[in-house]
Chain A
């Protein structure tokens, strides 16, 4: 009984402390002020674990077909390139201003990327479809079919190998 009382008091104190922090306005939510290292690490690890778990059973189709590359290229140009950049564009207002900074998908991340091509494709599909909370990444699955999202995944896979001229041809809409 005594232990329960202590637990209740602790819960009340915890709630009151959280409410004080929340409503005092002392937490800086500005995107131009980075998280502390520990908060950044906590958020990043949580995000990666969540995506990995959610994407683990997604079946990856053949991503080599020319149709997918053509479809995905046009969508990437209009939906992704302003934040995730493209060959010949090393930064943009969006890539500089967003926090966390969106990954530059036009360069190869082979040196620090874990997992197989298939795991990466699964993760990319899940992120494009469902988005990521409070990061600026929208859930494109609300307005786009799985086929179009896979096309973007296929295009992103080839993106680091493209020259600016090749990118221009592949993404142009006639």
Chain B
């Protein structure tokens, strides 16, 4: 029964993500185009001044600053996180497992945002970003691009991250 509920929740989040991405495809293309024109400088003000975007940025900052409890606070209790073929099915699972590895990894690297789009649609918001990671981790040079999709849900006036999909 619980498995069925989880499966339904997964499907619903995936459908929401796909449909929202489809709805705003034109905006994503615009953001991508402007990246090439503005060289290295990206203006994050539009993201920071949307309440959902600010939550996403603060979550990123907390992870990079190694602040576990703050990062945990931005996640919905039942967040579902897809990363590297693995699934974390709650905020506590992630906070006690893979979050620590993510923090160690990102603490060693320089992270540059290549593009970032956040849209709020009622009580749901989605965030899509690409980042460039450079530096050295465990003696190996890192020079890669990461992609991130998030779904946020607003409850009691606060945005919480309900789903994350990371790929590198």
- A residues touching B (Cβ–Cβ < 8 Å)? 64, 66-67, 69-70, 158, 161-162, 165-166, 169-170, 172, 174
Once the chains are docked, how many angstroms separate the CA of A169 from the CA of B118?
14
Given known contacts A69-B44, A174-B158, is B58 in contact with A166 (CB within 8 Å)? no
Number of interface residues of B (CB under 8 A): 14
Number of A-B pairs, beta carbon distance below 8 Å: 34
Once the chains are docked, how many angstroms separate the CA of A25 from the CA of B13?
75
Which of B41, B50, B54 counts the most chain A CB atoms within 10 A? B54
Residues of chain A contacted by B41 (CB below 8 angstroms): 64
The answer to whether B24 has its CB under 8 Å from any CB of chain A is no
Residues of chain B contacted by A174 (CB below 8 angstroms): 58, 158
Q: Are B50 and A70 in contact (CB under 8 A)?
A: no
**Can you name the residue of chain B whose Cβ is closest to the Cβ of A66?**
B44
Q: Are A170 and B61 in contact (CB under 8 A)?
A: no
Smallest CB separation, B36 vs chain A (Å): 18
Given known contacts A70-B61, A174-B158, is B45 in contact with A161 (CB within 8 Å)? yes
Once the chains are docked, how many angstroms separate the CA of A64 from the CA of B54?
15
Q: Are B57 and A66 in contact (CB under 8 A)?
A: yes
Partner of A169, one of B43, B54, B61, B158: B54
Partner of A170, one of B43, B54, B158: B54
